[in-house]
Structure formats: structure tokens, C-alpha cells
Amino acid sequence: MADKTALVTGASSGFGLRISIALALRGYRVMAAMRDLGRGDELLREAERAGVASRLDPVRLDVTDAESIEAAMAHAARRYGRLDVLVNNAGFAVGGFAEEVPMDDWRAQMETNFFGVVAMSRAAIPLMRKQGGGTIIQLSSVSGRIAFPGYGAYAASKFAVEGFSESLRHELAPHGIRVVLVEPGAYRTAIWDKGFSGIRSRPDSPYRKTLEAVLEYSRRAAATSKDPREVAELVARLAECRAPRLRYAVGRGTKLTLFGKAALPWRWFEAIIQRTLSGKAGG
Ligand SMILES: NC(=O)c1ccc[n+]([C@@H]2O[C@H](COP(=O)([O-])OP(=O)(O)OC[C@H]3O[C@@H](n4cnc5c(N)ncnc54)[C@H](OP(=O)(O)O)[C@@H]3O)[C@@H](O)[C@H]2O)c1
């Protein structure tokens, strides 16, 4: 049988880099897609260290650029003739309170985190349908289930990914294509620094105090988080799973928080979130 083939978007750093290595270690040929191939050095170094560099195929791909998506899929079809696993990982986080985040930033957030996922999934489906199956794994977030203040744009993009994927799973099940959502809590990757550095807030902002408390909470959560390899391992396991569930929450406290949202009266849950993010609660 031909080699198993995977395509991972956003493979230049963070989860995407580690997912590419984890899949290569499981014997996949991995199209490690990134929008700037010049940013692939860390991935190649890590792959060499793991002894899987020959299994990686760096591909240029910007998930907001239709032509580059088409070219990457044509490359997959031509070179491998199949695509077993698509990992929609590329993404970033816009931070800031709704009133202060410019509309262009709201649109950019949806363009990459949501429309990028839709475009990549649509592009992969014909090949997967033709070969009689495949797996599409979406890097959602705990923010796709629970919305925190200061992350409205990010939460909206991930809630959209969740709704889209739930529907897509029904559509593709008869064709043997599995759709899975991975919902990490905070992990230490570059996403935090990139997001924090782009935050728009006026010095006289009425939200300044709350925003600072939220950011401080996020920084602390990311700094004390577990190794992002945990998420990569989960994704690699799901790639092999014959009958995965729709959702996989992962990360410190993530399952408990989701359980709290499902089980507690909304007023109680809301009060806990507000107290935690205002810095009044311990830990
Ligand atoms: N870290 C966390 O705590 C956390 C928690 C929950 C969910 N997530 C999700 O996990 C995914 C990966 O994030 P990460 O934490 O690994 O962050 P990261 O280290 O910043 O990696 C994000 C990757 O996405 C790429 N990317 C951004 N926009 C792109 C575009 N338009 N086209 C192609 N690639 C693009 C980046 O490429 P460049 O190098 O070119 O910028 C980078 O490779 C995201 O979807 C994020 O929302 C992260």
C-alpha cells in the first residue's frame, strides 16, 4: 500500500511543527505547509533530531490564499495520489475588547481561523472522497466552547469552526471521512506573544483594568501550561483512530471548565469566570 499522507497547515511553529514530527514518526509522509518556506528551519532541525527529515515535504501554503490552496492540493494529488489526514492547524489570536478591535482585525481573524479551515476542508474533500475515506482534524480551542472577555474575535472564529465541523461530520460520514475537533486549553506556543503584541487598547480605555487582568491571567496560564507535544501526540493518535469522537478537550483544567459550563446554572458559571478573570480569585 502507498505511504499514508498528511497535510498540516501552520507547520512552521507551535502545535503545527510538533504535529508534523509526531505524524512523521508514525510513518506518514507529511506535507508541512507554511506560508513562508523561509520559516521552516526550526521544523527541519527538529525533524533531523527525530530522524524523520526525509518524511517531511515542506509546502508553501497560505490558508487565506485560494491559489496557494489549489496548488498545494494539486501537489498532493500529483506526488502522492492521496491525502489520508488533513490537520487544519494554522491560526492566530486577536485580543482586545470588542469596541476597541478594528473591523479589519475582526475580518482578518475570521479569514484565517474560520474561512481558512472551510477552504482547506473543501479543497481536501474531493481527494478523500475519491480514495474512499480520510480524516480532517480541526485545531479548535477551549475558546470554541467558552468565550472569555478580551477574546471575542478569537472565540467567534473558533465557535464558527465548531459549528462548521459538527455539520461537516454529518455530511462526510457516509463517505468514510472522519471530522474531529481538538480543543486545547492554554499551551506555551508563539501564539500568545503574537496575540499580546497586537492588542489594541487606548491608554484612556474604559476596559484597561479588566484587559490587563485578563492578559495577566492568560500569561500565567500559558507560562504554567503543559508541553505542547501533548496536543501533537493526541492529534497523531486521532489520525490513526478508526472511530474518533467529534470533540477532544485537552489541557490543564480544560475538561473541568467545560463540565462546569455544562453542569452549572449559567449565572454561577458566569460569576466564576468573572471572578477568576478579575484577579480576585486565587490561582
Ligand atoms: N497555544 C495555545 O494555547 C492554543 C490553544 C488552543 C488552540 N490553539 C490553536 O492551535 C493552532 C496553532 O497555534 P499555536 O499555538 O501553535 O500558535 P503558533 O505557534 O503561533 O502557530 C500558528 C501557525 O499558524 C500559521 N499561520 C497563521 N496564519 C496563517 C495563514 N494565513 N496561512 C498559513 N499559516 C498561517 C503561523 O505561521 P507563521 O509562522 O507564518 O506566522 C504558525 O505556523 C491555532 O489554530 C490556535 O488557535 C492554540
5 lines ligand 1 (CB under 6 A): no
Does pLDDT of 260 surpass 90? yes
Q: Is 146 in the pocket of ligand 1 (CB under 6 A)?
A: no
pLDDT at 283 over 80: no
Question: How many whole angstroms from 12 Cα to the centroid of ligand 1?
Answer: 9
Residue whose CA is at the smallest distance from ligand 1 atom 9: 139
154 is annotated as an active-site residue: yes
How many angstroms does the Cα of residue 10 sit away from the middle of ligand 1? 6
CATH number of 5-277: 3.40.50.720
**Does 141 contact ligand 1 (Cβ within 6 A)?**
yes
Work out the angle between the directed axes of helices 41-50 and 14-25 (0-180°, nearest 10): 30
User: Which of the residues 80, 151, 154, 248 is marked catalytic?
Assistant: 154
Cell numbers placing 137: 482534524
pLDDT, tens digit (0-9, with 9 covering 90-100), for 95-148:
999 999 999 999 999 999 999 999 999 999 999 999 999 999 999 999 999 999
What are the boundaries of each domain within the chain? 5-277
Is the pLDDT at 253 greater than 60, yes or no?
yes
The residues pairing with 8 across neighbouring beta strands, listed in sequence order, are 32, 87
